[in-house]
Amino acid sequence: MLLLDGHKKPSIGSFHHAGSFDYQIKQEVVKGLTLEVCHEGKLTKDLEDSLAKSVAALEAAGASVICGSSGSMLFFQPFVRQKTKLPVILSAMAMLPSVSCSYSADEKVAIFYAGSNVPESLLKEEYRVDLKDSHYHFERCDDLPGFKEVAAGSDDATQLESLKTGLLARAHKVLEDNPKVRAFVLENTELPRFAHALRKATFRPVFDAIKLCDFYINSHMDNPRFGLKDWDDARKGTSPAFNFGQTLSMGVGELESFAKPVLDLVKVPDLAMQVYEGSKQHAVSMWYRSHRAGVKLGVIRLDYHYPPAPGDVDHPGSYGYEVLYHMVSGLTFEMCQSGKLTPEVQDRFLKGLKELEAKGASVITGDCGFMMWLQELARKNTKLPVIMSSLATLPAITASYHRDEKIAIFTANGKSLLTMKDLIMKECGVDVKDERYIFVGCEEVPGFEAVAAGEKVDVKKVTPGIVKKAQEILSANPKVRSILMECTELPPYSDAVRHVCGVPVFDAITACDFYIACHVDSPKMKV
């Protein structure tokens, strides 16, 4: 994390307080870089040297992602990206296109920001955000009572309560004037501490800088529910915590289902000891927090019957929260690939959406990346956020890298995905013909042909082929900085690719985790 020069000691709950995150934070003060300099948006040669030195220091300290303590650092995003190969996210605005594409064209996203100088041209160039887009409602918050004092480092309870009260009142006014606002984005880094109060008061998902950082960090991490490293550590008895005490909120039946992938590897006493050791972190369990908030993922399924592997979107053990499934009778892979539904199947599809809503789903996704063809249809018929493909997160991923750096997109069939180029541009605002994207078809990987056939995939057989393909792509394209697994049956291989190739890997699970996380409280904010 790049810190402004002159930042006072952070108060508990603030974005630049290390205790606000669920992972290690390295911080580096950029000497001479003040809030006033950020607002001017200009760097002197001395400031450029200072900023470059701080970036190098973070890299040397082992940082995986670089963020900034103030959204006003957005002005210097292009400069910082040139100084590092790491993903750079200096403003929560980076996620705005990915948030807005989950809602229909007539729905809105409200953005709370501070400062009068909004860099319109820079936002359009960096994040493809057009301030004139009717999708967005921008609302200043630095005039709220208590804001200046809290921004200056005050942790006075009266000032914090005053700011929270004013923020909630402002949000209710926004909803009153704009009833089609479906989500809030807290651009200002002083506001994440109030995100959960805003969720409870408005019944809307709230996206903020901490959730965005979590999204990028998760792309570097082994998935604890089906990953390679965590299960291996557990088998060897070297892992002290079992997914932050997640299993403590489960009944016996749920625990057996959840732990099935490792029951053959881990002795029951060892598993029990991990649960016991992890109990002190029960309060930060994603399962516990999502269950407490009543948050669930809704998945529209193809009319396919196959045993999904752990990590597959169709496997409930792939997630750290409750999942609801609805299979649409007659919705085949071929029909989904063509994007054309018969009237009967469309009717069943829409009924499926309503059923998932009625059961309490908070986010809607699909179990096939080609359901991107159905994104608009789904969005028009629900008020919930819809992410029918992990491609919805591509704008946010792209924004964190320099223009001459590349992202490899792995798909079940590369040629079929390219036929969706106009649709992807329309839905996600991403031009897949841009040279920064490399599409990688996995149809020829030994064993992966089972996906197109709708049969069980042998993960052990397929893993070496997927890893080899990733290695070949990185070798042939040294400027590839990250990988996006577009196909919903590719997440089982994400961990292997992360460990062997050493690059961040995004997939359908990290995408769902991101949208679900914005419905629940941040784990460390109240602990």
Average pLDDT over residues 137-142: 92
Summarised one tens digit per residue, pLDDT across range 206-215 is: 999 999 999 9
pLDDT of residue 347: 97
pLDDT-based confidence at 233, cuts 50/70/90?
very low
Q: Are strands 296-301 and 322-327 parallel, antiparallel or unpaired?
A: parallel
Catalytic member of 101, 487, 501, 518: 487
Q: Comparing 15-19, 85-89, 156-160, 495-499, which segment has the lowest mean pLDDT?
A: 15-19
- For the chain, the first-to-last Cα distance in angstroms comes to 22
Residue 330: count of CB within 10 angstroms of its CB? 16
pLDDT-based confidence at 231, cuts 50/70/90?
very low
Residue 24: count of CB within 10 angstroms of its CB? 11
Q: What is the DSSP letter of 189?
A: T
The answer to whether residue 368 is catalytic is: yes
Q: Among 202, 211, 209, which residue's Cα sits nearest to residue 182? A: 202
As a whole number of angstroms, the distance between CA 327 and CA 351 comes to 11
As a whole number of angstroms, the distance between CA 414 and CA 433 comes to 13
Average pLDDT of the chain to the nearest whole number: 85
The answer to whether residue 487 is catalytic is: yes
Q: Among 513, 492, 505, which residue's Cα sits nearest to residue 407? A: 505
Query: pTM value?
Result: 0.86
Catalytic member of 67, 141, 336, 368: 368
As a whole number of angstroms, the distance between CA 233 and CA 226 comes to 12
